[in-house]
Structure 1
């Protein structure tokens, strides 16, 4: 290769490299979006009635599922799937299979994990202890269950897969706690729907690591009153990290919910 051609090739390489670095620094290259997983086997039951009022609250801490955007398309996960609360907010497609109670055409219900279906050690895993380890099981809100099967079937075999959570708007942060302890529930999380870790930053502090409390809640033992608050969040599934600056104003209050202008892919 002659000197002129070598110089041209090297120059082209470094120009491309410079563009990549600039775009990466500017946020031009985002991590790939979460993709659906392979289908797996499980079983499904339902709890509550047609109103889904019994599903309000739940182990993930989302409170009123209607007010917070989750509605009746929800499910409680067995211990194995719940993963100590790190599965809160994940989205699943479920379809009934190999049962006379399945609707024809195997329609699919898409649900969000909002609760834990606890083990029942007094009953056998295959006879009433449906959520006992190591079973993969969905205890669905009745309206969601009725999208895939007749309710009088009771329990049906299903196939399920993880799918991206399609959310409108930014992540919402619901505040609890007091002046020395901030407890935050993260809701409306898109992409993988889940959270691995969270940090909070006051306008007068650096980043403070928050510990996982339970479900979708994270806590910081710090005095943050009178400061605007920002949050940094890492997805449990994709490991992507995003920063939501100035989510809550300096006069934020416990009991309020604040919405960021960012979300996962």
Structure 2
């Protein structure tokens, strides 16, 4: 009987978790596109991801307006989008994207005539190959969309790109599954205790603790409160400009 009760509880918890994801409400925004069908202009920009193809993000990305970007904290979050309430332009289906850049305001233009990313407007600027998946013709230019947060699905583990100098360390934390948004990072060297890092910009995290010459562990927390600890993921002989991948992800 106890086994049945435990099993039932597990089923209920699993159903509740699915409901939280599937039951997230749709919100409304607008979407535009940049570049051309080659996607050659797709870069990591304000989140610090650099070459999105090399980092594994590809074209499934978007630049977010001020109202959604949240000073860089939303970098890495994943969204589902669909064209909405525009029969002339909307194509069926949805796309899934990762937030990788910032769409800056254009204060010289009103928000309904070119200042698409001006506050308080919620806006997604998509790579053209993604935009044409939800519209019948790219000449639509700008379309209303519905969007919702979804869990991120990534290949492989959390990645850490090492930057800085002997006195100051900057680490890009990326390829985050689950909630996608990193909200807290700590690092521990083989000769130090745990040190909490601070956000420099996007998903670049910094510390003034001297770590060169030490094997490193990282503890990463996402916006849903989940934490992954990657022990001794960076070897003692690491160098700036190297990327290391954890076996774990969210």
User: Could you say what secondary structure the match of 1:144 adopts?
Assistant: helix
What does 1:148-167 correspond to in 2, within 5 Å? 148-149=134-135, 150-167=137-154
What do residues 107-130 of structure 1 show as CA deviations (whole Å, max 9, x unaligned)? 101011000000111110121111
Q: Distance in 2 between matches of 1:176 and 1:48?
A: 29
> RMSD of the TM alignment (CA)?
1.5
What do residues 135-179 of structure 1 show as CA deviations (whole Å, max 9, x unaligned)? 110000111111101211000000000000011211001111111
What do residues 189-229 of structure 1 show as CA deviations (whole Å, max 9, x unaligned)? 00010101101100110011101011111001111111001
Could you say which residue in structure 1 is the equivalent of 2:213? 226
Could you say which residue in structure 1 is the equivalent of 2:228? 242
What does 1:172-183 correspond to in 2, within 5 Å? 172-183=159-170
For residue 101 of structure 1, the aligned residue among 78, 89, 94 is 89
Structure 2: unaligned runs, 5 residues or longer: 7-16
Q: Distance in 2 between matches of 1:63 and 1:259?
A: 17
Could you say which residue in structure 2 is the equivalent of 1:40? 27
User: Could you say what secondary structure the match of 2:47 adopts?
Assistant: coil
Shift of 1:262: 1.1
Work out which of the two has the higher radius of gyration on C-alpha atoms and give 1 or 2: 1
Q: Distance in 2 between matches of 1:35 and 1:243?
A: 24
Could you say which residue in structure 2 is the equivalent of 1:79? 66
User: Could you say what secondary structure the match of 1:226 adopts?
Assistant: coil
Shift of 1:35: 2.3
What do residues 14-37 of structure 1 show as CA deviations (whole Å, max 9, x unaligned)? xx9xxxxxxxxxxxxxxx687252
Shift of 1:242: 1.6
User: Could you say what secondary structure the match of 2:68 adopts?
Assistant: helix
User: Could you say what secondary structure the match of 2:197 adopts?
Assistant: strand
Whether 2:110 is the aligned partner of 1:124: answer yes
Could you say which residue in structure 2 is the equivalent of 1:5? none
Displaced runs of 4 or more, over 4 A: none
Structure 1: unaligned runs, 5 residues or longer: 1-11, 17-31
Could you say which residue in structure 1 is the equivalent of 2:129? 143
User: Could you say what secondary structure the match of 2:71 adopts?
Assistant: helix
Could you say which residue in structure 1 is the equivalent of 2:13? none
User: Could you say what secondary structure the match of 1:143 adopts?
Assistant: helix
For residue 61 of structure 1, the aligned residue among 39, 43, 48 is 48
Q: Distance in 2 between matches of 1:215 and 1:144?
A: 23
Shift of 1:260: 0.5
Q: Distance in 2 between matches of 1:167 and 1:126?
A: 35
Could you say which residue in structure 1 is the equivalent of 2:198? 211
Could you say which residue in structure 2 is the equivalent of 1:111? 97
What is the number of residues matched between the two proteins? 232
What TM-score results when the alignment is normalised by the length of structure 2? Answer: 0.89
Could you say which residue in structure 2 is the equivalent of 1:258? 244
